[in-house]
A and B are shown apart, each in its own frame.
Chain A
């Protein structure tokens, strides 16, 4: 297989098949797995199921995942809200893969998203040649999900314009899309639902209307603030990226810990022991960002360094990530280096020296 990134349902096909084969609990209509089995798929299982180890996909509050699954089993849509980089899309992908077998019915919300992306468009060549016909119709992922009784994903819903959000209201409340050109109405099959994600940092950009909010159950995906938990996430996801892209060197554990500590301390505005205050940067220091910094440092080490990730590789990747939001954030890092990192020992020594150099 040469695809860069496989969708969850293919990548974890073995796990899903094993769960399906061993799942004798009741399933909601059209669901591939029972709610319990979906939960097991997402949270992982200590014991192998049908001989297949079920790896955890999401680290964190089990009850949050349960609320999400219970929502999808009802007739409300699910809204995953949270800070950027809290694995909302990741969770959405795995939930839809486990529940309906595909995570590909996705609409990416942007400022340019139009109603067509939610409903249907036309193949204009055919439209002109044959007039409106089923063949000329280009169904949106949402329309396809309705026809097949599957789950559609709408990413970053807060980025879309109010008109598009309004279109979603009627889809969610009536569960059908009218196609007047064909004089027909597509009604959703059982099993249809929507998982939307919303970025709470975007608040005020395109604030959702009360009417739209009412169609959703909200699950807030929290920022991970447990050090060991975030380290586990970062390690697992970084290793996955490395194997997907077949590039990069594995980072040593102490550097991973160092990096996650830096992220958590900058994010929280104080050191882990609570003794020193730290200025928080403007940029979003999400878990996803930490994963990407760690992955990048592995590539730097492999391509330009000595093959093992050291403090210098990490420092370069980190400054690159922080520079995105402008020089202010680099100042924040410099301040952090002097007030916090300087006094620490172990891996911090090399990191401090390298980061100082990288910043000048």
Chain B
């Protein structure tokens, strides 16, 4: 490869200084061809990237079209040198081309993200530094990939200069100093040489060096004079080409089938690509820098003024004098550190010393996000968008949902037709697995935080009055939208297909009914029918009481609230039949499932309570048979005792067990002094249901008390672990009832003691409370 005469320009991606130097070089050289590191099959997207109405950050997205979810992005900020090269070429009517290996190969080489970010780095300071670079080229260092630990070699470099981390070093020696294109190129090449691994480049990078070098050589051979070509490559690639590294002993991976698109990107995501590859800890700030012709001091002042405004809006007192002081402090700090202008670090430290009076939290919470920015890129009208992207954009517009890359909460009242439409839209996105909104419960905002069984597609989904969703747009949303098109042109189709797939692999009745709910929630009629079939098929085979009881509960919810969904009225008969079927099957298997030890019956106990709720609320179900089942479980000593306890408590609460019978049952079960652990288990199960109601009954307490008093010492010891477990379930008010009854039962004249026991627990909190109140009043006084 003969690259003599070609202007090889090394860059670090997302570097304002590199972008500025590159533009100066382009203006000077006036090339007729601009070659840029980037997937060579993406040339067709260049007009979209550079359209006047496209606003960075935007990214090239490549995703596999063979059904395997895998994708890669090549993001561009306005201040990315590659992006500026594209703009320059557009403005001067010059051809620009990407020359890296195609996206299908990049995916095959398993570069999960941004080969762009992967390739760069570079830089160098003054002469003294260059000398030290050479002096020290010994140890093998990490390679240049952003995702691998670039730390060692880059971090070592930072520490050499008494700086804390590589980003600081980069800012100090490459971004803030003023460079001419030529001096920048020299500096960056020297830097790349220094950080290059002594052991040679990894195969992948070497292959890409080769491919890009060849593409440049081909352009020369095709007739473009070398001095009219500018090639923009990551500094490590340029260094490798200049060294003339030998051809790697490996083959280029076979390309995977891919499709390409331009998608919006966001500043918060860009800032996550920190480390060596990027230099974008603070995209908003760097964009200010770039806009101001790389005047870091001025950009810093802009940030400080903006931050002071933020702080004032939040009620902090921040004066203009403070801002001036912060600015001066930042300049002095930069000076002490031998930097030519303040950067991100000096800004943060100066703001903390002056604006926040030493507090670190406002810096972390407000200044850093401010410097990162919230911008999401926009695509011009010329960008081809697939049908799902269009439907998504339309959905956001119709329902007023936010498109911002930070978490927001959306609350929907489902009684309202539009908001119910929004709910359908969000459920479809959820089922289509497009990461945008996640369900955050149905409780009122005050009591946010959802119960463990309050799931997006749970059995309660149909009875909700409102839904809360946490929404956040990220570039991953766009990726998913692009990828999901293989399932269908509309979200409704995507949901049908995805649900059908899931139904095909469902193994339990509970899975099938869960999918049934999802199908109903997303208005997927075919999937509803298939899920119903699957429920029928699976429930007749299912032996698992947990799964059967959940299925029954879901079916009961469909029966009760399904009338609001037209699609369900036609299948109401089937649902009722299935409900009775799964309930009966679960009921019959309950006794068998109630064997073994405490752990083994956990599912059976949960199922028992679910089924009990259904038996009491659904007229369709055979209440008599259910109570018989419970009676049998409560009385059968061959079954696990905790399960029996639960059954007994359920019977009592359903008023199916008279107090006298209960007393008899308790005495019998608790009278087991030979195996007191079983008795204690029974007690634990008994309390598990609703200890408060049970302990309000003096008869029950009397039976317990009798059991405990009668235990011989050594048996008591054996039973202690189980007893501890049982009584640990009791809360403060349960304990109070228990105590009151015990005091009453034993006729002790001990109300005073009891009272003291009651208040002792509260004493401290009362004292604390009054202290807090007093404090609050004092504060109020101060304020007034």
Contact = CB atoms under 8 A, between A and B. Distances in A.
Contact of B358 (A70, A73, A220): A220
Contacts, number: 62
Residue with the highest number of chain B CB atoms closer than 10 Å, among A35, A63, A70: A70
B354 A76 contact: yes
Given A74-B328, A219-B358, A220-B358, A67 B353 contact: yes
A213 B329 contact: no
A66 interface: yes
Interface in B633-682: none
A174 to B, nearest CB: 15
Interface string B419-457: 000000000000000000000000000000000000000
Interface in A57-95: 62-63, 66-67, 69-71, 73-74, 76, 79, 81
A66 B336 contact: yes
Contacts of A203: none
Nearest to A81: B358
A39 B356 CA distance: 24
Contacts of A122: none
B332 interface: yes
B470 interface: no
A343 interface: no
List of 3 A-B pairs having minimum Cβ-Cβ separation, nearest first:
A218-B358, A70-B332, A217-B353
A67 B333 contact: yes
A210 interface: yes
Interface of B: 162, 164, 317, 319, 321-322, 325, 328-329, 332-333, 335-337, 345, 349-350, 352-354, 356-360
19 contacts: A35-B336, A36-B336, A63-B345, A63-B349, A66-B337, A67-B329, A67-B350, A67-B352, A70-B332, A70-B333, A74-B325, A74-B329, A74-B332, A76-B354, A210-B317, A214-B321, A217-B354, A218-B356, A220-B358
Given A210-B317, A218-B358, A67 B325 contact: no
A71 B356 CA distance: 15
Contacts of B329: 67, 70-71, 74, 76, 217
Contacts of A66: 333, 336-337, 349
Contacts of B162: 62
Nearest to B162: A62
Nearest to A208: B357
- Chain A contact residues (Cβ within 8 angstroms of B): what range? 20 to 34
B783 to A, nearest CB: 13
B358 A79 contact: yes
Contacts of A36: 336
Contacts of B317: 210, 214
Given A39-B336, A69-B336, A214 B349 contact: no
A152 B358 CA distance: 21
A279 B36 CA distance: 61
Nearest to A73: B332
Contacts of B356: 218
Nearest to A43: B162
Contacts of A76: 325, 329, 354
A218 B325 contact: no
Nearest to B329: A70
A210 B357 CA distance: 10
A66 B325 CA distance: 16
A69 B349 CA distance: 13
A41 B398 CA distance: 65
A36 B357 CA distance: 24
A73 B331 CA distance: 11
Contacts of A220: 352, 358-360
Contacts of A73: 332
Contacts of A67: 329, 333, 349-350, 352-353
A66 B162 CA distance: 12
